[in-house]
Amino acid sequence: MKFQQEYEVAKATAGGGGKTLDISKKNKGKVTSNNNLHSPEKRMKRSKLVQQANQRIGRCMNLIRFVTEHEYFVGKNVAIIEQCVKPLLQFADRPEEIDFEDDLIFCIDALIKKSRSCSPMMQELFPYLQKFQMKYNGVLANLTCCLNSYIIFGKDFIESDERNVQLLLEMVWRAISLNPAGDHNFNDESNADFAR
């Protein structure tokens, strides 16, 4: 939780302007103004804070990934692990802001495989997978295994709502419509026509 707080404060101050909650020892809990944060020194400091927060979370994700992929943690422990990683899984709605999106994808995939089902938390995360694909410029990359797990273990979930099927088809269509340069060969209208 401390790392998430540090990350949020670092990201909030990186944007400049406005006010943020300062959690440093000196001003613990006070709201401070960011209007003087536009100097090059301040920008470097903010950038360094964001990098440090990303590194800490990245290290945590490596450990969490090991736990989710290790055979010892099968069965009833999966629900406990899901609850423990819930704060980190909340970053799935904005993968463009993080450097550990691959670890999140592998974690989601491992949790689905270990539980051999698609839990309510994993069902909530499904719509965000397209944001990961957008970060990858339309390529599925590491999402392929994750989507496969959703299809195999979350078949009932995907079939239960037409929007889930449509999202899955759109993601696949987006990936196969890339030319070798990584550009899309279609416009939004042709993508919408395919999904219907």
Mean pLDDT, 10 residues at a time, over the chain (196 residues)? 51 45 46 56 77 77 78 76 83 81 87 89 92 89 92 94 94 84 51 47
Residues 142 and 58 in one domain: no
Residues 131 and 82 in one domain: yes
Q: What is the pLDDT of residue 15?
A: 45
Q: What is the pLDDT of residue 171?
A: 93
Angle at 42 between CA 41 and CA 44, to 5 degrees: 65
Residues 137 and 79 in one domain: yes
Strand partners, 49: none
* Residue 196, burial from CB neighbour count under 10 angstroms (0-12, 13-18, 19+): exposed
Amino acid at the residue 6: E
Q: What is the pLDDT of residue 185?
A: 52
> What percentage of the chain's residues is helix, strand, coil (to nearest 5)?
70, 5, 25
Residues 62 and 140 in one domain: no
Residues 65 and 89 in one domain: no
What is the C-alpha separation between 33 and 21, in angstroms, rounded? 9
Where does a domain end: 69, 85, 102?
Answer: 69
* Domain hosting residue 118, numbered range: 74-196
Strand partners, 22: 30
Q: Where are the beta strands (DSSP E) in 13-161?
A: 19-22, 30-33
Q: Which two tokens stand for residue 190?
A: 């042709």
Residues 105 and 9 in one domain: no
Residues 137 and 84 in one domain: yes
Residues 52 and 144 in one domain: no
Q: What is the pLDDT of residue 141?
A: 84
Q: What does the buried/exposed string (b/e) look like for 80-89 if buried means 16 or more CB atoms within 10 Å of the residue's CB?
A: ebbeebeebb
What is the C-alpha separation between 114 and 74, in angstroms, rounded? 6
Residues 59 and 81 in one domain: no
Where does a domain end: 69, 96, 114?
Answer: 69
Residues 78 and 146 in one domain: yes
Q: What is the pLDDT of residue 126?
A: 93
- Tell if the pTM clears 0.75, that is, is over it: no
Where does a domain end: 23, 43, 69?
Answer: 69
How many structural domains does the chain have? 2
Residues 56 and 78 in one domain: no
Q: What is the pLDDT of residue 163?
A: 95
Residues 161 and 186 in one domain: yes
